[in-house]
Structure 1
Amino acid sequence: MRYQDQLFEQRENALLDAARQLFAEQPWDRVTIAEVAIAAGIGKGTVYKHFPSKEALYARLVLDLSQANLVELRDLHAASPAQDAMRRVIRRAFEQMMANPIQAQLCLHCDRPEFQERLEAPYRQQFIDMEHQYQLFFGDMLSVTLNNQVLSQTDCQNLLWGVEACVNGVMARIASGGFSHWAEPIALDDYFARVTDFIIAGLRAQATALLTHPLSHE
């Protein structure tokens, strides 16, 4: 790698690290590009050579974490017994969110249509590519869970929508701070377990129905 490329990468990583640190100390949506530049020891004008907007900075943080999480989940799935692989992956996905509630908030923010509309085209494409990677991974997990029985791409997509709704609900709950404000608080670990059970049971039941009556969903 050329020296100039190494320097560019070092500056970019410094900016990302500075943003993460600032977001942990104060509301992330109030942190300015100038504050990120100062914390990273980099001129404000230089920041825009790396991130043309605050939206681009948010997007990069979310995309980087999503990619790292996907790698971990794939490794976990490959190392788990087939009968328990999806359950372990879902629980670990919830734990990943819980480990970084601020990132959960950012993920929800970046998924909003108005945010995507303001985002530069290359970043929008990266989100599409990331979604495709998660879809492929879900298809692989579903095949293992169903003992290698094959569903159509349309059926897999329909099942994924249900899983996505559950996962987004968990993400929103984590982003909002859990259940501590409820009259009868629920331990998040118990909540994760119940939602995981619900997802697994729903997937198996719906997949069995689709395999038995392939035309019933049309």
Structure 2
Amino acid sequence: MEHTAPARPLFEERESAILAAARELFQREDWELVTIDEIAAKAQIGKGTVYKHVASKDELYARLAMEIDRRLLARIEAIDDAAPPLDQLAAYTAAFWQLADLPPEERNLMQYCGRVSFRRRLPVPMRADWGMIEQQLRDRLLAILRAGVNAELIEPRPDDLLLFGVQSALHGAVRLAWRSGSGTGRPERTAELTRFILMGILTKQGRKQLKKGLALSP
């Protein structure tokens, strides 16, 4: 008796092929003009099959951008939560700063998908899934900052203000690197970014620890 293969592995295989094809085609300078027909042809599947996986090109953009955020989250979750708070924050900064080295096609996607108007066009479940990833990133950062406050290394402030300052510095630095095309540049830039962030939130005791060279070699 002949058995058919489970449908789920085939579905996942096709989805991987679609995302890989889109990722390759988006390397073009006119990446925003890439069509679903081109993606289907590159993936060697029918156009109708593509629409079984994504309802629009916006959803395809979002899938790829969410993959990038998941990679970042994996690096963040690998940080040792038993390490000293300032070392954890340095490791978080270093992991986030790696976004500056994204290849052009991924950098373009992240900037495009970061627009509020783009997010609003996405289906509610997809927005919720993406929001959950971003919330996990914020929660991990907040846990590190609270640990620093509890250790009297970071000035006590409301959670939203603690997050605002650090996130603004991180996102601003990455976007500056994207605009200049410099990437992360010299290795010491990571230490300089960490120092810049820390100097805005450290207590006197925290500054003393920073002067000892801690938290600058994640």
- Do both proteins adopt the same fold according to a TM-score greater than 0.5, normalized to the shorter chain? yes
Equivalent residue number for residue 90 of structure 2: 87
Judge conservation of contact 1:97–1:103 (CA < 8 Å) in 2: no
Equivalent residue number for residue 47 of structure 1: 50
1:88-127 correspondence to structure 2 within 5 Å: 88-127=91-130
Q: 3-state SS of the aligned residue for 2:26?
A: helix
User: Using the alignment, how far apart are the partners of 2:42 and 2:98 within structure 1?
Assistant: 29
How far residue 82 of structure 1 moved from its aligned partner, in angstroms, is 4.2
Q: Does 1:4 align with 2:7?
A: yes
Aligned-pair RMSD on alpha carbons? Answer: 3.0
Divergent runs of 4+, >6 A: none
- Contiguous gaps of at least 5 residues in structure 1: 181-185, 209-218
Aligned-pair identity in percent equals: 32
Higher RCO (C-alpha under 8 Å, 6+ residues apart) = 2
How far residue 128 of structure 1 moved from its aligned partner, in angstroms, is 1.8
> Which letter maps to 1:146?
V
Classify 1:71/1:53 alpha carbon distance in 2 versus 1 (closer, same or farther; 3 Å): same
- Contiguous gaps of at least 5 residues in structure 2: 207-218
User: Using the alignment, how far apart are the partners of 1:77 and 1:170 within structure 2?
Assistant: 24
Q: Does 1:31 align with 2:29?
A: no
User: Using the alignment, how far apart are the partners of 1:188 and 1:12 within structure 2?
Assistant: 37
- TM-score with structure 1 setting the length: 0.78
User: Using the alignment, how far apart are the partners of 2:92 and 2:99 within structure 1?
Assistant: 10
1:178-197 correspondence to structure 2 within 5 Å: 178-179=181-182, 187=185, 189-197=187-195
Please, which of 137, 154, 160 is the counterpart of residue 157 of structure 1? Answer: 160
How far residue 101 of structure 1 moved from its aligned partner, in angstroms, is 4.2
Judge conservation of contact 2:25–2:39 (CA < 8 Å) in 1: yes
Equivalent residue number for residue 201 of structure 1: 199
Q: Does 1:175 align with 2:173?
A: no
Equivalent residue number for residue 75 of structure 1: 78
Q: 3-state SS of the aligned residue for 1:76?
A: coil
